[in-house]
Amino acid sequence: MKLQLQIKMNEALYLRDPQSSDLGKNILRHSVQIIYKIGFESFTFKKLAEDIGTTEAGIYRYFENKHKLLVYLTAWYWSWLEFQIRFHTNNIKDPTVKLKRVIDLLAKALEDDEQTSSINEKLLHQIIIAEGSKAYLTKQVSKDNKQQFFKPYKDLCALIGNIILECSPNYKYPKSLASTIIEMAHFQNFFMNNLPSLTDFGQTKEESEIILFLNDLVFANLYKS
């Protein structure tokens, strides 16, 4: 049995569904590779078209502009990660164990094991670290938010917030702590690799150290005397 996990995306994110055709899947696959390689600023639809072997106008039939494509990729990532978290914490009763598992999944780059789709999750994880915040750090954030573009991120945050409340029902800031964990899992990784003196992991550059830091940070708060 080989099943394909298909993530249902917000239709306002695209003009034509990229998961519905070969060209569309190529756009997703190649854009992940190019953004990973040259960064979002230098990434253009022309370069993407040349890489795929189609024309610029061809890409524009799928995505209005490169910002929408980035929002699509990040939304896809958060949806996929929420699924991973639900899958890997399924049947775990102890909320502490569950929350530890969540931190692991946030901070570790999961293998691109199953050929889920046209998207390489390992590269996408790196893109989210370096470019993810650019999806919402814009002047259109409220307009985009009204169109529910960030729903997957908010759902993930709510899920983690609820696990936090299971651990400590009286904790006052479950959602802020959840968004802090998510952001810091990524920012500490970026800092560790690029601006190491902003972290305490500059020597080893080990993901496992970020996990220890986040565990320490979170559980000191939830189980304080």
Q: Which residues bind DNA (CB under 7 A)?
A: 16, 21-23, 42, 44-47, 54-58, 60-61, 64-67
CA dist., res. 224 & res. 130, Å (int): 33
- Min separation Cβ 13 and a second copy, Å: 17
Among 4, 6, 170, 197, binds a second copy (CB under 8 A): 197
Angle CA 126–213–106, to nearest 5: 35
CA dist., res. 103 & res. 105, Å (int): 5
Measured from the CB atom, is 61 or 88 closer to DNA? Answer: 61
Among 5, 15, 198, 205, binds a second copy (CB under 8 A): 198
CA dist., res. 101 & res. 152, Å (int): 19
- Asked if residue 42 binds a second copy (CB under 8 A), the reply is yes
Identify the CA nearest to 179 among candidates 218, 134, 123. Answer: 218
Other Cβ atoms less than 10 A from the Cβ of 210: the count is: 25
- Asked if residue 97 binds a second copy (CB under 8 A), the reply is no
Q: Which residues contact 213 (CB under 8 A, 6 or more apart)?
A: 188, 200, 201
Partner that binds at residue 83, options a second copy, DNA, none, CB closer than 5 to 8 Å by kind: none
Binding residues (CB under 8 A) for a second copy: these are 38-39, 41-42, 130-131, 133-134, 136-139, 141-142, 145, 150, 153-154, 157-158, 172-180, 183-184, 187-188, 190-191, 194-195, 197-201, 213, 216-217, 220-221, 224-225
